[in-house]
Amino acid sequence: MSSIELSDDVASLEAGLDALDKPVTLREPLAARLRRSVLPPVVAVAFLVAVWLVVVALHLKPTYVIPTPADVWASLGQYWSEGAVQEAVWNSLRRAFVGFAVAAVVGTALGLLMSQFRFVRTAIGPLVSGLQSLPSVAWVPAAIIWFGLSDGAIYMVVLLGAVPSIANGLLSGVSQVPPLYLRVGRVLGARGFTAIRYVVLPAAMPGYLGGLRQGWAFAWRSLMAAELITFSPALGTSLGQLLQIGRELSDMSLVMAAILLILVVGVGIELLVFSPIERRMLRARGLNVGPT
Amino acid sequence: MTSATVSETPEGQWAVADLPPPLAPPAIVLERVTKRFSGDGSRPAVLEDVSLTVAEGEFVCLLGASGCGKSTLLSLVAGLDKPTSGTVETPAGGTALMFQEAALFPWLTAGQNIELALKLRGVDRRDRREETDRLLATVHLSGQHGSRVHELSGGMRQRVALARALAQQARILLMDEPFAALDAITRDVLHEELIRVWEETGLAVVFVTHNVREAVRLGQRVELMSSRPGRFVRRWQVEIDGPRRIESAGVSELSKEITDDLRREIRRHAVLPAAVTAGSRS
């Protein structure tokens, strides 16, 4: 039949066009990618350590004020052998994860409510944005008065630090969803909660993930402020508490070791958890991954 | 009202009829539909007193310049918007709608986009994969199930969008300038593809375009619309024997006639320099 011939003809035509038109995506080889993304930060860290060594060598201040990298390393080793470092990192991470998880639930619910109901958005939008710029350490005195020197006080500060970022991230993600996607969703029969589940939330994912990422940074920061001030032996060793012990003992090596630990854990979670998720999501959507 | 003119049919290539022949029961009936977006009537209606009947299995092209309300009309038929007055009747089971952009969801693969349409229609999970593969084969994209949207060319994306529209199993397919953003070669191939799918499925198609040749190439009927307010001004029953191509003589000839009418409609909106100065003086 001629119609079958014709249809076969279209098929081969299309196959040819597809082969010609399909966008070509090149992927950098692993070695090149590592060289491009890992080498610069390693050089930067080496440079900072070098500057540090020069400053120490100049004898501007005695070594109990500016300790050498070796002193800091030794201090770290000592507290490690006592088990204090492991306990501190574990306690702080545990609190950060629990606090962040609760903040994610609350922030997501808040962000969804704000995105779906104009009244809620107008009513509490400015408040949430305002909270985002309020340093959460400002909540520590209130938290201690309400909850005493307890985990409760710490969690309150972490939540108030992280929730606004997550809610605002989701809100901005939803507001950037192309209206065309919503129309397509409606045509396909997605309404109400189904539309949120299958269209709005996935489409808003880039903004939402950005909010979660910022929420994590705020949670970690708030946690350190809270642990530093909410000082009680009953709470166990934590990174914030290591800082406080170092200050009381005037042990600058310990203080710097604690700062490094806080930095390493914060950056580590960012690099090991959030960056890969974000990169994968953006790449899957064909969006620019940007500098990493 | 629609003022279709009867003209001779040179060499039996096309005919202009007063009314569409009663082919099949109607799939879409628009009765005296008016749509305005300003509530107080300060701006002219986008659509004014528009009536249209599309039979089951019929392929109708709506043709018009900017501002004729073609897209608004599709939104009304798709149920995405409500008319200010008049009635829109469509069969149960809804309508499928395609846009100028493929509007595939970029967080899903090509196949998952189709599967989502099936899922939202309530198709059982076990049957979805098989049905998706069948639909991908229909648009000659077997093996592209796992392709990401950005890995596909514009034409391939529109074919996935077509497969997704077919997944809805609606009896009506609405198309809003679906090939306008594609290059001429791809568009030509997709015309052929669309006609093949239409013949296989027996869908009623309402195809909106501002491309006269495209309208004549595809449609059994071409409806010319005027702009501001949108109205139907003339209709042609396209009867060209044999397989049609964009460069067919019959297509060219009818396109010329329709283009002349379209230009006449557009000229009515010309703001002449004299009129502008007169307006600014007063």
- Contact assignment for A15 to B140 by CB distance below 8 Å: yes
Using an 8 Å CB-CB cutoff, list chain A residues near B198: none
Q: Is residue A155 part of a domain?
A: yes
Q: What percent of chain A has pLDDT over 70?
A: 95
Which chain A residues are closer than 8 Å to B101 by Cβ? 180
Are B140 and A285 within 8 A, CB to CB? no
Mean pLDDT of A190-207: 91
How many interface pairs between A and B have CB atoms less than 8 angstroms apart? 101
Stretch B232-261: mean pLDDT: 84
Q: Do B105 and A199 touch (CB under 8 A)?
A: yes
List of chain B residues whose C-beta atoms are within 8 Å of the C-beta of residue A6: 192, 196, 243
Q: Does the pLDDT of residue B4 top 80, yes or no?
A: no
Closest chain B residue to the Cα of A15, Cα to Cα: B140
Q: Is B116 exposed, middle or buried (0-12, 13-18, 19+ CB in 10 A)?
A: buried
Is residue B236 very low, low, confident or very high in pLDDT (cuts 50, 70, 90)? confident
Whether A224 contacts A71, CB under 8 Å? no
At residue B23 the predicted structure's pLDDT band, cuts being 50, 70 and 90, is low
pLDDT of amino acid B132: 93
Q: Which two tokens stand for residue B188?
A: 């030509």
Contact B199/A284, CB-based, under 8 Å? no
Contact list, B116 vs chain A (CB under 8 Å): 188, 198
Confidence of residue A292 (pLDDT cuts 50, 70, 90): very low
Q: What topology does CATH give the domain B10-95+172-281?
A: Rossmann fold (3.40.50)
Please check whether residue B71 touches A, CB under 8 A: no
Task: Reply yes or no on whether the pLDDT at B35 is more than 50.
Answer: yes
Q: Looking at CA atoms only, how far is residue B279 from chain A in angstroms?
A: 39
Domain annotation covers residue A170? yes
> Least CB-CB distance to B106: which of A3, A189, A286?
A286
The pLDDT tens digits for B132-182 are: 999 999 888 988 898 999 888 888 999 999 999 999 988 999 999 999 888
Instruction: Tell me the C-alpha distance between B268 and B259, whole Å.
Output: 14
Question: Which chain A residue has its CA at the smallest distance from B164's CA?
Answer: A188
| Cα–Cα dist A176/A232, whole Å | 45
- pLDDT tens per residue, range A76-125: 999 999 999 999 999 999 999 999 999 999 999 999 999 999 999 999 99
Which range is least confidently modeled, A138-147, A150-159, A241-250, A281-290? A281-290
- Is A9 inside any structural domain? no
Minimum mean pLDDT range among A115-129, A164-178, A225-239, B10-24: B10-24
Q: Which residues contact B27 (CB under 8 A, 6 or more apart)?
A: B54, B55, B56, B57, B58, B90, B91, B171, B172, B204
Q: Mind listing the pLDDT tens digit for each residue in B180-217?
A: 888 888 898 899 889 999 999 989 999 999 899 899 88
Comparing CA positions, the residue from B159, B204, B275, B195 lying closest to residue B59 is B204
Q: Average pLDDT over chain B, rounded to whole?
A: 83
Instruction: Output the average pLDDT for chain A.
Output: 88
Query: How close A10 comes to chain B (CA, Å)?
Result: 7
A203-217, B15-29, B33-47, B100-114: least confidently modelled range: B15-29
User: What is the C-alpha separation between B168 and B122, in angstroms, rounded?
Assistant: 10
Cα distance between residue B143 and residue A14, in whole Å: 14
Facing A183 at nearest CB: one of B80, B117, B243: B80
Indicate yes or no: CB of B99 within 8 angstroms of CB of A188: no
Per-residue pLDDT, B275: 55
Sign of the CA dihedral running A63, A68, A74, A79? positive
pLDDT at B61: 93
Longest distance between any two alpha carbons in chain B, whole Å: 73
A138-159 residue pLDDT tens: 999 999 999 988 889 999 999 9
CB distance A188–B164 less than 8 Å? yes
- pLDDT for the residue numbered B22: 55
The residue of B189, B190, B200, B201 whose CB has the most chain A CBs within 10 angstroms, and thus the best one to mutate to test that interface, is: B189
Higher pLDDT, B66 or A114: A114
Stretch 79-138 of chain B: residues touching chain A, C-beta under 8 Å: 80, 94-97, 99, 101, 103, 105-108, 116-117, 119-121
Q: Say which of B99, B196, B199 has its CB closest to residue A180.
A: B99
Mean pLDDT of B28-32: 88
Mean pLDDT of A166-172: 94
Closest alpha carbon to A166 in A116, A202, A114: A114
In degrees and rounded to multiples of 5, residue B250 shows phi and psi of -60, -40
pLDDT value at B8 more than 60: no
The answer to whether residue A168 is domain-embedded is yes
Instruction: Answer yes or no: do A7 and B196 touch at CB < 8 A.
Output: yes
> What pLDDT is stored for residue B2 in this prediction?
36
Distance in angstroms (rounded) separating the CA atoms of residues A117 and A129: 17
A196: pLDDT strictly greater than 80: yes
B120·A190 Cβ contact <8 A: yes
Q: Is residue A93 part of a domain?
A: yes
Domain ranges of chain B: 10-95+172-281, 105-169
Predicted local confidence at residue B68, as pLDDT: 76
Q: Work out how many domains chain A is built from and give that number.
A: 1
> How far off is chain A from B153, nearest CA to CA, in Å?
5
Judge whether A142 and A154 are in contact, CB under 8 Å.
Answer: no
pLDDT band, residue B241 (cuts 50/70/90): confident
Confidence of residue B276 (pLDDT cuts 50, 70, 90): low
Q: What residues does B88 pair with on adjacent strands?
A: B30
Distance from CA of A189 to the nearest CA of B (A): 6
Burial class (CB in 10 A: 0-12, 13-18, 19+), A207: buried
B18 touches chain A (CB under 8 A): no
Interfacial B residues in 222-241 facing A (CB < 8 Å): none
Tell me which chain A residues have a C-beta less than 8 angstroms from the C-beta of B172.
Answer: none
A202/B contact by beta carbon, under 8 A: yes
Domain that holds residue A89: 83-292
Rounded to the nearest angstrom, the minimum Cα separation between A148 and chain B is 46
Chain B interface disruption, residue of A12, A26, A180, A184, most B CBs within 10 A: A184
Q: Given an 8 Å threshold on Cβ–Cβ distance, is A23 in contact with B116?
A: no
Q: Is the ipTM of this complex over 0.90?
A: no
User: Which of A14, A186, A201, A283 to mutate against chain B (most B CBs within 10 Å)?
Assistant: A14
What's A264's domain CATH number? 1.10.3720.10
